[in-house]
Amino acid sequence: MKKLLAMALALAMTLSLAACGGGGGGAASSGGGAASSGAASSGAASSGAASSGAASSGAASTGGSSASSGDLIHVGFAQVGHESDWRTASTKSAQEVFSAENGYELSFVDADNDSAKQLEAVRNFIQQGMDYIIIDPIVETGWDAVLTECEEAGIPVIVIDRTITDSDKYDAWVGSDFKVEGLACGEWLKAYAAAKGITEINALVIEGSTGAGATIGRTDGFKEIADREGWTILDSQTGDFTEAGGQEVMESYCQSYKGQFNVVICQNDNEAKGAMTAMDTAGVSYGVDGDVIIVSFDANKPYVQMVCDGKLNANFECNPLAAPTVDEIIKTLESGGTPETEIYVTESWFAAEDNVPSITVNGQEQPVVHVTQDVVDARPY
């Protein structure tokens, strides 16, 4: 029934455009120790890359033709972009889960961090009569109108990773508690500094993309602990979740705050890599036994290896494998059931040293994984 409604709406929109002489639209675009790809319905240690394979930048790619798709479930996925290793893992997971072998036809759009392009992609999905639409929103606001259009077309929407704050017209959300991630970072730093006899914290923060839920949550969470403990945040600027952005911001920091900082907080792994390059060039030592404590978020496998190697002091996981949980939600909806509206993925916190075995976040004791090579080898991403 929802497909018929969507097709009727698409026909009406086409006739309306023809009557107005309008042109066509543009392109759509671990928990429990070592690792986990599952999800938890309530966030314990809860907290969220380049597209590959069939993914293309700027145009929808489909897993099969309508003539041969049979009873496949048609899913449209409007992805943020391809700015980080985390995003690559998220995209790859979706392409593997929503395959023809699993009963799906996936139309994928890489929005390239362009909010207008992402909105256009969702509207194109409506016109194409998708059965389900998945959105990883670039920014938190500006969604109510297009989600209303999805609702009127009878197409369920599932939001993953980042959050939408100006509308509740979606069926479910799967992702991370980004503020918990920021709080966990702060609580770990407090305990680590105490274990090391460090009495003064002067931190520099490299934020993610402006307006993104991950940026807002991680910034607010860490700042809450910093304010409580009386730490100094010398500066906080966006690196846009990219390696180049992280390097550029850190180069500026090394000049402006030379000799003044002892902590660098990078809000994703790619920024951390860029920051390390900048500090190497500036002659600033970091990591275990270095002059600067450097912390990252996401915990992609190569960066958990950096924790094992002592280059990063800690890394706070953001699980990119939301797709299996979305698959379960779709199956629930297909069977006439009602899914949970908010599902937190399971995540872990990783540290290079074993001097902080656990932290307490929001009244809950949470383990900190001391990274060994076995831990790294067990990581799924």
C-beta of residue 166 within 8 angstroms of C-beta of residue 140: yes
- Average pLDDT of the chain to the nearest whole number: 86
Dist CA 372 CA 307 (whole Å): 9
Pairing verdict, β 172-175 and 132-135: unpaired
Average pLDDT over residues 247-257: 98
Q: What is the pLDDT of residue 70?
A: 63
Q: What is the pLDDT of residue 115?
A: 96
- How far is the CA of 152 from the CAs of 17, 155, 158, in angstroms? 18, 8, 15
Dist CA 162 CA 192 (whole Å): 29
Same domain, 92 and 220: no
Q: What is the pLDDT of residue 327?
A: 98
Residue 89 lies in a domain: yes
Q: What is the pLDDT of residue 309?
A: 98
pLDDT beyond 90 at 374: yes
**Considering Cα of 86, then 48, then 60, then 244, what sign does the dihedral take?**
negative
| Tens of pLDDT, residues 258-268 | 999 999 999 99
pLDDT beyond 80 at 105: yes
| pLDDT > 70: percent of the chain | 82
Dist CA 84 CA 300 (whole Å): 10
Q: What is the pLDDT of residue 83?
A: 87
Dist CA 198 CA 208 (whole Å): 27
Torsion of Cα atoms, 33 then 83 then 150 then 117, to 10°: 180
Same domain, 155 and 244: no
Q: What is the pLDDT of residue 39?
A: 41
DSSP 8-state assignment for residue 193? H
> Which CATH number covers residue 72?
3.40.50.2300
Residue 6 lies in a domain: no
Residue 72's pLDDT band, with cuts at 50, 70 and 90, is: very high
pLDDT beyond 60 at 29: no
pLDDT beyond 70 at 61: no
pLDDT beyond 60 at 293: yes
Same domain, 79 and 219: no
Count of domains forming the chain: 2
Rounded (5°) CA angle 60-66-68? 125
Grouping H, G, I as helix, E, B as strand and the rest as coil, residue 248 is helix
Q: What is the pLDDT of residue 251?
A: 98
The full DSSP string for 171-236 is: SEEEE--HHHHHHHHHHHHHHHHHHHT----EEEEEE-STT-HHHHHHHHHHHHHHHHHT-EEEEE
Dist CA 34 CA 158 (whole Å): 28
Find the domain containing 361 and state its range: 178-318+348-377
Q: Which helix (H) or strand (E) holds 365?
A: strand 364-370
pLDDT beyond 70 at 171: yes
Residue 5 lies in a domain: no
Dist CA 77 CA 324 (whole Å): 14
Average pLDDT over residues 298-325: 97
Q: Which helix (H) or strand (E) holds 305?
A: helix 301-308
Same domain, 115 and 225: no
C-beta of residue 338 within 8 angstroms of C-beta of residue 109: no
**Packing angle, helices 269-282 and 243-256, rounded to 10:** 40
Q: What is the pLDDT of residue 299?
A: 97
Q: Name the residue among 87, 211, 83 with its Cα closest to residue 141.
A: 211
Residue 19 lies in a domain: no
Same domain, 81 and 189: no
Q: Which helix (H) or strand (E) holds 204?
A: strand 202-207
Amino acid at 202: N
**Considering Cα of 236, then 242, then 247, then 248, what sign does the dihedral take?**
negative
Same domain, 140 and 190: no
Same domain, 34 and 120: yes
Same domain, 65 and 184: no
Choice among 61-65, 91-95, 108-112, 159-163 with the minimum mean pLDDT: 61-65
| Tens of pLDDT, residues 113-133 | 999 999 999 999 999 999 999
Same domain, 127 and 39: yes
Q: Which residues pair with 266 in a beta bridge?
A: 206
Burial 246-276 (b: 16+ CB within 10 A, else e): bbbbbbebbeeeeeebbbbbbbbbbbbbbbb
Q: What is the pLDDT of residue 84?
A: 86
Q: Which residues pair with 77 in a beta bridge?
A: 108, 134
Average pLDDT over residues 167-180: 96
* Alpha-carbon radius of gyration of the chain: 22
Same domain, 172 and 182: no
Q: What is the pLDDT of residue 48?
A: 34
Average pLDDT over residues 32-53: 35
Residue 10 lies in a domain: no
Q: What is the pLDDT of residue 220?
A: 98
Residue 247 lies in a domain: yes
Same domain, 109 and 205: no
Same domain, 98 and 136: yes
Q: What is the pLDDT of residue 273?
A: 98
Rounded (5°) CA angle 313-319-320? 125
